[in-house]
Structures are given as structure tokens and as C-alpha cells.
Amino acid sequence: MHRLLKTPIWLRTLVVVILTLGIFFRFINLDKKIYWGDETFTSLRLSGYTTKEVDSQLFDGRIVTIEDIQKYQRTNSQKDFTDTIKGLALEEPQLPPLYFLIARFWVTLFGNSIAVTRSISALISLLIFPCTYWLCLELFGSSLVGWIAMAIMAVSPFNVLYAQEARPYSLWAVTIVLSSASFLRALRLKTKLSWLLYAITMTLGLYTYLLTILVAIGNGLYVLVIERFRFTKTVIAYILASFLALLGFVPWILSIIVNFDSLQDASNWAFETMSISNVVQEWMRNISYSFMDFWYFFTYFPDSKFNLSFGTYLIPLLLILVGYSVYFICRETPPNISVFILTLMGASSLPLMLSDLLSGGYRSIMARYFVPSYIGIYLSVAYLFARKINYINRGLLITNLWKVSFLALLMGGIISFSVSSQAETWWTKRTLDHVIVPKLINQTSHPLLILEDSMPMVASLSYLLNSDVDFQFIKTKQLPIVPDKFSNVFLLESPKFPVNKFEEEQKLKGKLVYKGRKQNLWKLEENSGVK
């Protein structure tokens, strides 16, 4: 392995500035972006209620107020931590309870506002910096790579966006980096205490997110390769530590087995289809978004006069950078480094990608499932820049070009979260309809909104609509009778319940107010031509 110089003062100063900006933008405008469906499920779990209780108490055909809906988005004295665990076990066993228990404790102390609920994710995300530095010391033996990796993660749009979301992904990233550093430390020290620490951190990861099992499998592959597929003491130590971690996870494994039907129901969306070409395009876009995404604003609003199509040029450049960094680390580092990076990225991503390619599904376009892979990418790019910008016996011109490239990468990240911090929605949410629809309804006085009895959609809208807006829900195949007391009646159309059903069965006339990407908003009026 080539020798790397110590971290120069200018680079440390730059990283401190970048870290300061990264921390600042993790907490700025925490409540500006819409509280979307997945996050409303988080609040539902924190409240201790279940969707079954919501269905029976809320979707019963009566007129419902904002306050009625918000009841199931707040903690209360009737429900406690055990209800949060029960709700997850019964209805979402694919989500282990660690993050939700931490978040429940947090909102109990400081309140149920959007900013407070999201702030615990932002706070947890800060732990990624010391953990990353430790991982780089264990993997590369270099503080220089650690400083650069921290800078890249500080301005990564992917990391910033999920640090501002009331979901477990920032905690998952921390547990992955922490368990990876503990794993490499155990391999280096080969002591019982070090392997026990790895088992504990892996257990924390399992209780944070189920896909941590893929990270553990990647660690196992790494040990086998490094030990040349021999049954050595190191392999035995890994097996024992992994068994201990799984033993600690047994209670939740049992809940998954008992509630396996709920796990299947929660995963039904993953079996919908998308063309392979579109899936591959999403993969490439997501990788580029892990470094910069400011052009997403122009992509989302293609009719804007500012649509400069930055992505057309920058996405290929970022993909080339990532591809070259992986090639470079495979060529220039010993197997104990390159194999670790490859197993961290491959074990967590290949099963999802191959599954979608074979089945035609699109679960793998969700960037949040690829946190381990992105961590591996950040480490590869950090090592590449460390070698290129501060290595002995390199031409000054080439070195300066790499320094400019590094600064450009950081600047792209800074511009990205400067833009996204002012937006109401972004690519991690993709809910433009739910930004525009409430604004149109809020312009009217005491309106009624008719829509499907879909808990995430209803709960999300309850944060955006004025308090005088009432709801009426379409349940099963029976249309609700629209009351006469509302002068402004809106229908959020869905494929199951198009506007023509109301026009045919209740002699109402629909006026298109907003043509959305997924749903249209109609205003229902009396059809004066019908007697």
C-alpha cells in the first residue's frame, strides 16, 4: 500500500468548515418539507395506536376533522412504550423497534411537532462522523482518508435528507459504520472483548433495520476470503460473535415468524413491476444523488425556465468518479481493504438488484435500502482523493486538478442542500401532488375533502390542510353521501374511485381543479342540468 502523507492544515480547516455546514443544514428548516406517508407511520407507532384501531375508530363513514386524525399522530397517556413495540410487531415486523423507542422517548420529552420528531434523526446522524473516522483508521490506517470521508458524508444530499426524516435510516447508517469499525478492530486484536463489542454493535444494527443481516453476511464473506476459506480461529470467532448477535435478536425473530402475514402485506408494493431500463436509470440517478442533487429541482419542474438539465452532464461524471474509485481501490490496495469495500457494497445491494432484475420489481430503486453500499462508495471516493491530492512525488498540475475536483464535489453537495433545504418536497419523498393540493383547498372556506381511507395519505394531508377542513372517506365500493352543508366539496380522485362514479350515482358535476402526476383534484358541484 502506498504511503499517505499526514493531513495538511489546509485540509483540516476545510473539513471543519464543511462539517459545520453539514451540521447546520441537518437542523435548518426541519419542518419545511411535507411530513409524508412513511413518516406518518412513524408517528402512528410512537402514538401506540395501530392501523386496525384507526380503521375502526376513524374510517367509519362519519365526517372527520383534522383533530380527529391528529389524535393518532401524538403520544398520549393511554399508550406507552409497550404499545409502540406491539404495533410494530403486529403490523410492521420488518421494522425492529430500536429507533422507534428512542424517538418515542424523545417526543415524550419535547413534544410531537414535526421539527421535534425529525430532530432525533438529525442528532443521531451526527454520530456518523466520529464512527467514520474510526472506521477509516481501522481500514486504511490513515487519518487523511478519515478527514476526507467525513467531509464527503457531511455534504452528501443522501445523508442530509435522511437525517431530516423521521425514519430509522440515519441510525442504521451509524450502526453500520460502528459495527464495521468494531469488526475490523476485532480482526486486528483477536480478543474476546473485541469480538463481544462487534456482537453488541451488530445486535444494535439488527434491532435498527432488518437488512443489517446482509451486512453481517458481507462480513462473513470477508472473513472467509481473508482467511482463504480455511476454518481458522478467526472464522470461528466470527461465527460465535454472529451467533451471539442473532441470539440477542431472537425475540424479534419470533415476532416476525408469528406475524409473517403482516410482513408479506407490508411488502406487497415491492412486487409491482417496472421496466428494467427504468430501474437501471433509477440506480444510476440514486448513486449520483448520493453526492449532489441540486438539479432535481429542475427535473421535477421541467417547464421551469431554469431547467438547465445539469443532471444530463453531471450524472455521467459522478458515475465515472464512483466507478474509477472502486477500480482504483481494487488495483492499489491489498485484499484486506479492497475485499472489505466490495463485500460491504455487494452483499447489501446485489440481492435486491438481482431480485428486481429477475422479477421485474422495483424495490431496488429505493435508495434508502442501499445505505451500506453508499458507505462503501464514500470510503472508496475518500481514499481516491486522499491518494490523488496529497501523495508524494506527484506532478503539481495533476495534484491541483484533483484538488479542484474534490472542492467541486464538496461545492456540489453544499449547493444541493442549500437548494433542497428551501423546498417542500424532494426526491426522497416524491410527493409533489401533496404539496399543491392542500394549497388549493386551503384557499376556500370550510371545505370538505373526499378521498380514500388510506392512513398515510390522510395523515400526511392533515399536517398541510387548514384546521377547518373536514374529511369524508370512501370505503369499499360504497360511495359516501355528500352532505349539503358544505359549499366547497373536493374529491381526490383515485383509479378505484374516479369522478364519474359521483357524477353517475349522485348527479354531481366534477370540475377539474388540478391534474396531478398520480391523483387529480376535482371540485364537486350540483349538476343544475339534472332533475
Q: What is the pLDDT of residues 468-488, one digit of tens each?
A: 999 998 876 677 788 888 889
Number of domains in the chain: 2
pLDDT at position 276 is 87
Residues in contact with 304: Cβ distance below 8 Å, sequence separation at least 6, in sequence order:
297, 298
Per-residue pLDDT band at 66 (split at 50, 70, 90): very high
Q: How far apart are CA 410 and CA 291, in angstroms?
A: 8
Which has the closest alpha carbon to 93: 263, 264, 211? Answer: 263
Domain membership of residue 157 (yes or no) is yes
Question: Residue 307 has what pLDDT?
Answer: 44
Last residue of a domain, one of 420, 448, 483: 420
Q: Are residues 506 and 361 in the same domain?
A: no
Whether 229 and 339 map to the same domain: the answer is yes
pLDDT digits (tens, 9 = 90+) for 159-180: 999 999 999 999 999 999 999 9
What cell numbers appear for 371 in the block? 445505505
Is 293 inside any structural domain? Answer: yes
Q: Looking at the structure, do residues 15 and 141 belong to the same domain, yes or no?
A: yes
Over residues 356-370, the pLDDT tens digits come to 888 877 888 899 999
The reply to whether 387 and 438 lie within a common domain is no
- Asked if residue 236 lies in contact with residue 345, where contact means CB atoms within 8 angstroms, the answer is no
**Rg (alpha carbons) of the chain, rounded to whole number:** 25
State which residues form the domain around 447. 433-526
Neighbours of 381 (CB within 10 A): 25
From the list 83, 73, 103, the residue with the least C-alpha distance to 458 is: 73
Q: Tell how far CA 22 is from the center of its chain.
A: 17
| Final residue in a domain of this structure, among 394, 420, 446 | 420
pLDDT class for 59, splitting at 50, 70, 90?
confident
Mean pLDDT of the chain: 90
Does residue 373 sit in the same domain as residue 326?
A: yes
- Cell (9 digits) for 30: 426541519
For residues 416 and 454, state if they share a domain.
Answer: no
396 lies in the same domain as 448: no
- Using DSSP bridges, classify how beta strands 448-452 and 470-474 pair: parallel, antiparallel or unpaired: parallel
- On the CB side of 227, CA atoms within 13 Å amount to 17
According to the model, what pLDDT value does residue 304 have?
47
Kindly state the DSSP code that residue 448 receives in the 8-state scheme. E
Question: What's the pLDDT at 1?
Answer: 45
Q: Does 341 have pLDDT greater than 60?
A: yes
- Please say if the pLDDT value at position 434 is more than 90: no
Under 8 Å CB-to-CB from 248, ≥6 apart: which residues? 199, 203, 206
133-148: average pLDDT: 96
Do both 339 and 486 map to the same domain? no
In a domain, 100, yes or no: no
3-state SS assignment for residue 526:
strand
Q: Is residue 102 part of a domain?
A: no
Is 492 strand, coil or helix? strand
The predicted structure's pLDDT at residue 531: 45
Same domain, 188 and 333: yes
Instruction: Give percent above pLDDT 70 in the chain.
Output: 92
What average pLDDT does range 384-413 have in this prediction?
A: 88
Percentage of the chain beyond pLDDT 90 is 69
Q: Enter the pTM of the model.
A: 0.94
Structural domain contains residue 79: no
C-beta neighbour count of 384 within 10 angstroms: 24
260 Cβ contact list (under 8 Å, min separation 6)? 93
Residue 103 lies inside a defined structural domain of this protein: no
- For residue 451, the surrounding DSSP H or E stretch is strand 448-452
The enclosing H or E element of 436 equals helix 433-442
Within this chain, do residues 391 and 515 fall inside the same structural domain, yes or no? no
Phi then psi for residue 245, to 5 deg, are: -65, -45
159, 288, 315, 325, 417 from 293: Cα distances, Å: 12, 7, 9, 20, 8
Residue 432 to residue 422: CA distance in whole angstroms: 14
Give the 3-state secondary structure percentages of the chain, helix then strand then coil, rounded to 5: 65, 5, 30
The vertex-286 CA angle with 375 and 145, nearest 5°, equals 30
Residue 97 counted as domain residue: no
The residue among 395, 420, 445 that closes a domain is 420
Banded pLDDT at 261 (limits 50, 70, 90): confident
Q: Rounded CA gap, 407 and 47, in Å? A: 44
- Assess if residue 464 is contained within a domain: yes
387 and 309 together in one domain: yes
Distance CA 431, CA 435 (A): 7
**Residue tagged 442473532 (cell numbers):** 246
CA distances from 417 to 22, 147, 233 (A): 9, 20, 47
Same domain (yes/no): 234, 316: yes
CA atoms within a 13 Å half-sphere pointing along the CA-CB vector of 95: 22
